[in-house]
Structure 1
């Protein structure tokens, strides 16, 4: 090169090819999960990790890539890629994203970079030289994301003067030296366990060795050192963006020891104080501004739905109720006996709480009068004799949310007072129905009794009581409703919470009996009554000799929605309580129950909610389990567990059998109230709407 050419070259400023961002769709999926489940309202800076590649074909820009594993430091980078550390600032609002002090944020990152260079941190970990900053805003309702990258680069005071124009390595070295350099690089890669991004090339004693930056002091002849770095740029005329900060490190630490720095495509510079910094990426219009990505059409609709349906619940945990255990709710398996007005509304409310496993049971079909009151059915479902309610309800709820695991089962529940008969065929059919119901109750965690007759609730109550399942009851009158949770018998292998069995306790056929004093203002969960505990007659055939308005529950249209919502809310409160189904029920006079200490994150866990729509009023009574109850008393459960179907068959065929068994018949004789008590089957509070 002539002296004139050298002079012209020396007047040129060294220029660098900037980074371009490349964000994989998986990154946005992961950011969405982090925002919903971990970050919530926390907008403090977070550490993230990217990488760049130095083997792209000619013409491609320098890409800094972020994938789904950008939030995990332990993840390794792909082959021939080099890690880069970043800072993520995810804003809660679009206004905050737009109005934040971006210069201040970039300056903070530049200070970190400068500190890493001055304090030798970047020599120990050269990936710190390629820091980046990412600002984001995630609109999780529409799945629109705004983002803006910055790739901070420290500026030399007067720029970097180019003394020799860039040229290919084979024009400056012979093939023997190039081969030696490649072999030395491979050896260093094996020694370090990864390809070095920034390194020293020593040529002492005519031997070529690639060394980490920490080996600088081990090199005797500094004039034999060449600085190298993995360059992501594909342009012949310009080096890539990482060289800028590497030059700053060389200048800060080793400029005083070198008269001349030999590099493959760059030269030294000096700087004492923290230099000024540039680096914000330009947007698609080649302007300094944020970019926007719309993934609403590219994400799988089913997965989008799974994230979106839980949005309200997760937002509740952000600020209002951090202790809410949503996993316990979503994993609860719910069995709905009755797929009519109450069943449809209960299912919808369960979906809202994130329940993912719902089974419908019913034996009827959709009629013309159903769709206007039963929210899962349409007019077409009632044509041609009507579709089966249970299966249709399951299909409709699957359309509402494809992520729910649901099924519908047509099943007739055997009932007391509805004689089975003595034929082998009838008995076998009844036996199969009982077995199927037992299997269903065993497979689920919570049982909802939402049927339209009192007696249809008896068998599920007995089975669930024996299996220690949570039982939720909802029943409607004309303008009154009852929501009730059944008491749960103590576990067979341990006493109930906060109680110990008395010395006289005994277990017969698996049903344990406990005797202890009870505080009537705070009844333990194992002492609470069931749906039948307030009745002193066995359930009978409530549909016989009844007019249409007596066979159907005639109620105000909005009542079922109120009762369905309350029974689901009560179930969730039970699940959130530390003692679950054994949670004690508060009972207090007047409104003093509103001031007691809440024992569940969601508030009180009452035994009953009785509402009166005419007065827009409800009360929270509680009752102790009746020792002569026809459904949950020890003698009934013992007989069921010991004799099984033979016991049930007697109950179905002999109307007075269970009354004689429990001692109710003797109670009637002693109290002389038989004529009055025979009238209790007309009680409107014992029916639910189908």
Structure 2
């Protein structure tokens, strides 16, 4: 428990003097951008003083300077102060020329503000409005041709004619208060903040005992301290030093000495510091000490004042910041997006490789409900290069589910989805490099040989898709139909591109990454798997093979499957893709899903991509399963699954894994071999033929026949019994 009296026998000469940590100005780029707008649109040549607003925070980590922050909202007097911050009201003097900035009478400016503060102390106005004790001055010149900003910051502080003597040295709160007292103090401070209608009270009064803790506003001094035996005052202290208080204490001590100094011998000071580390709130690093205040007579003239900030070299002088590269609003938007991501890395995930995410070029095949949500999440991760492919127009039913479109986009037949999506991304974030392509993706079961023109257009569309897949790092399959995913799957598998596939049901979804093949497509399966074909071999009977390939392999049966052995979207089927829209009713042609499903699936698709990018092996990473949820995650962001299958009716996700199927109609070696050897000739056969062409080629037809024969054989055995 801190004592209320000075140590016996100690003289003033032996007692050290109290020193204060000065403020360090922190003027954000947004402040200068807003000043530029004010100068151009409002101030023009007006050099009269303007009121601005800053704030300071007391939860910084040890070692950070005592900062007074000004941001873009500094010019809005009514703006809400950020949570757990104290406001500081200041005066801006913005000069029109550099010479006027240099020759401005800094001494006169400081003395003027100091005199106003001293008058407020004498009149009692500072007791009613304690923000007067935290006023500041900012002298600026904005060179808007070069975007060079010159500034000099001042925090006026009234000085005692003699130093303030320390009676009891600063001690950390955890060494003075019991755990019960610390908890009571925190609760009492929060209660005072709630009573005052703010999230941080800059100055307060305090009384405490072993089982009692009471706080009150500064203005309640006369009724709060009735016996005057012990006086404790608290400040919301932005300083992080263990032996020194922050600058806001200086003017408070002047106020106390003038108003109540004749009745006081020693004042105890609590520097309240409220820090949150890893989600836990702590005030144990607050400090408590006692000082003896010099006497101030009631007829004293305005004391000497100090406060001009030193420059980076430690000398008295202004500072200059060159923002020529970031004053463009587009650059400001980019820096803000980057800041959000960097804060994630600085505070939560230090090993996060943001550059790898930002550099990733993403191709979105489909600009509908999934495509819009995927694009928005990609931008949230800072991805700069996004390309859309879609041949549809925006209809009246789209905007409510597809967040990149508005009602006006539906008029006059509707805008192109791909082009409208690109336009909207640019409006949301000018730093994005978005492109759109409006063409159809040829599909199995949708013939292209009706005319020479149709065939030629299909070939151009295939070549365009091949070029786009080659130019991008990740391909998202976000289309409506199963068969539209076939060609991109084949091309991406051949070019060794990471594919993220997302598909919706009514209340179910699947998000999966395709296996990323290592070896050349014309090698046999054992060569692709590095000589080990045991994990990818077919089941022993044809019936078992059909069953295994048609369903996802549970993670409990196959674990630790490397990325190059994982299956694609078509590996789970034993039939080739065909025309899924033929003879379909309206509800069967449209994707009918619960409205929130696409946002969930789209976000998970992007998060899966980012997790894969954080893995040292990328797309070749071993697939995580549901069984791995309690184990050490393989990346800084967690697991890297093969599939995420969601069930919204149960609000449940599972993480199954499945092996590549050697008879897959999209990624099997025989399909890739024919595609790479024959190109469009092979593809046109697929487009113009029924599903039996691919089934014959891959061996699925034979597998079906063997399966039927096995079933007949089993039935005859049963009958003989």
TM bin (shorter chain): 0.5 to 0.7
Query: Contact (CA 8 Å) 1:468, 1:491: kept in 2 or not?
Result: no
Deviations 1:34-62 (A, max 9, x none): xxxxxx9674469xxxxxxxx98998269
Please show how residues 315-464 of structure 1 align to structure 2 within 5 Å. 315-421=343-449, 423-464=451-492
Q: 2: distance between equivalents of 1:59 and 1:535?
A: 77
CA separation of 1:479/1:62 partners in 2, compared to 1, >3 Å: closer, same or farther? same
Match of 1:657 among 690, 693, 702: 693
* In structure 1, distance between residues paired with 2:580 and 2:403: 26
| 1:215 paired residue number | none
Match of 1:368, SS state, is coil
In structure 1, C-alpha distance between the alignment counterparts of 2:340 and 2:455, rounded to whole Å = 49
Specify the alignment match of 1:625 in structure 2: 660
Aligned equivalent of 2:647: 612
Q: Which residue of 1 aligns with 2:103?
A: 60
Is residue 2:640 matched to residue 1:573?
A: no
Contact 2:29 2:327 in 1 (8 A): no
Matched, 1:476 2:512: no
* Cα shift at 1:639: 0.9
In our comparison, the structure showing a higher alpha carbon Rg is 1
Q: Classify the secondary structure of the residue corresponding to 1:384.
A: coil
State the distance in 2 between where 1:94 and 1:643 align: 76
- Report the CA distance shift for 1:300/1:105 in structure 2 as closer, same or farther (over 3 A): farther
Q: Could you tell me how far apart the structure 2 residues matched to 1:517 and 1:382 are?
A: 54
- The alpha carbon displacement at 1:105 in A equals 8.6
> 1:436, 1:382 → 2: CA distance?
27
> Is 1:638 matched up with 2:673?
yes
How far apart, in 1, do the equivalents of 2:308 and 2:401 lie?
57
Q: Is 1:532 the equivalent of 2:532?
A: no
What per-residue deviation string (whole Å, max 9, x for no partner) do you get for residues 630-666 of structure 1? Answer: 0000111111111111111111111221111100111
Asked whether the equivalents of residues 65 and 239 of structure 2 are also in contact (C-alpha less than 8 Å), the reply is: no
What's 2:560 paired with? 522
Matches within 5 A, 1:25-174: 43-44=63-64, 60=103, 98=238, 104=244
* Aligned 8 A contact 2:62 2:240 in 1: no
**Deviation string for 1:397-452 (max 9, x for gaps)?**
11011110001110100000101115322221111000000011111100000000
In the TM superposition, what whole-angstrom CA distance separates every residue of 1:123-143 from its partner, at most 9, and x where no partner exists? xxxxxxxxxxxxxxxxxxxxx
Distance 1:22 1:44, change over 3 A: closer
Deviation at 1:103, TM superposition (A): 10
Q: Match of 2:412, SS? A: helix
Q: CA deviation at 1:672?
A: 1.7
Q: 1:549 to 1:475 in 2, by over 3 A?
A: same
Q: TM-score, normalised by structure 1?
A: 0.55
Q: What's the counterpart of residue 583 of structure 1?
A: 621
Shift of 1:513: 7.0
Of stretches 460-469 and 291-300 in structure 1, the one that deviates more from structure 2 is: 291-300
Verify the 8 A CA contact 2:419 2:437 in the aligned structure 1. yes
Given candidates 659, 672, 681, the residue that maps to 2:708 is: 672
Per-residue deviation, residues 566-606 of structure 1 (Å, max 9, x unmatched) = 11110100000110000111235xxx321122111111111
> In structure 2, do the counterparts of structure 1 residues 282 and 522 end up closer, same or farther at CA, with 3 Å as the change threshold?
closer
Deviations 1:224-249 (A, max 9, x none): xxxxxxxxxxxxxxxxxxxxxxxxxx
Corresponding residue for residue 599 of structure 2? 561
The answer to whether the 8 A contact 1:529-1:624 is kept is yes
SS at match of 2:103: coil
Q: Residues 199-236 of structure 1, C-alpha deviation per residue, up to 9 Å, x if partnerless?
A: xxxxxxxxxxxxxxxxxxxxxxxxxxxxxxxxxxxxxx
- Which residue does the alignment assign to 2:307? 280
Distance 1:427 1:514 in 2: 41
Deviations 1:534-562 (A, max 9, x none): 11111000000000001111111111111
Q: Distance in 1 between matches of 2:327 and 2:386?
A: 26
Contact 1:24 1:66 survives alignment (8 Å): no
Q: Which 5+ residue runs of structure 2 have no aligned equivalent?
A: 1-23, 34-59, 67-97, 107-137, 141-199, 203-235, 248-303, 311-317, 536-556, 712-721
Aligned to 1:307: 335
Whole-angstrom CA distance in 2 between matches of 1:414 and 1:522: 36
Judge conservation of contact 1:23–1:66 (CA < 8 Å) in 2. no
Contact 1:533 1:625 in 2 (8 A): yes
Using the TM superposition, give the Cα deviation of residue 307 of structure 1 relative to its aligned residue in structure 2, in angstroms.
1.6
Note if 1:648 corresponds to 2:683: yes
SS at match of 1:407: strand
**CA–CA separation in structure 1 for the residues paired with 2:595 and 2:686:** 35
Q: How does 1:206-245 map to 2 (within 5 A)?
A: none
2: CA distance between counterparts of 1:547 and 1:597? 48
CA contact (8 A) 2:239 2:246 kept: no
Q: Report deviation, 1:613.
A: 0.9
Normalising by structure 2, we get a TM-score of 0.53
Give the Cα–Cα distance (whole angstroms) in 1 for the partners of residues 363 and 486 of structure 2. Answer: 16
2:503 alignment partner, SS class: strand
For residue 130 of structure 1, what is the aligned residue in structure 2? none
Task: State how far apart, in whole Å, the 1-side matches of 2:516 and 2:437 are.
Answer: 26
1:551 aligns with 2:569: no
- Aligned 8 A contact 2:237 2:245 in 1: no
Give the secondary structure class of the aligned counterpart of 1:343: helix
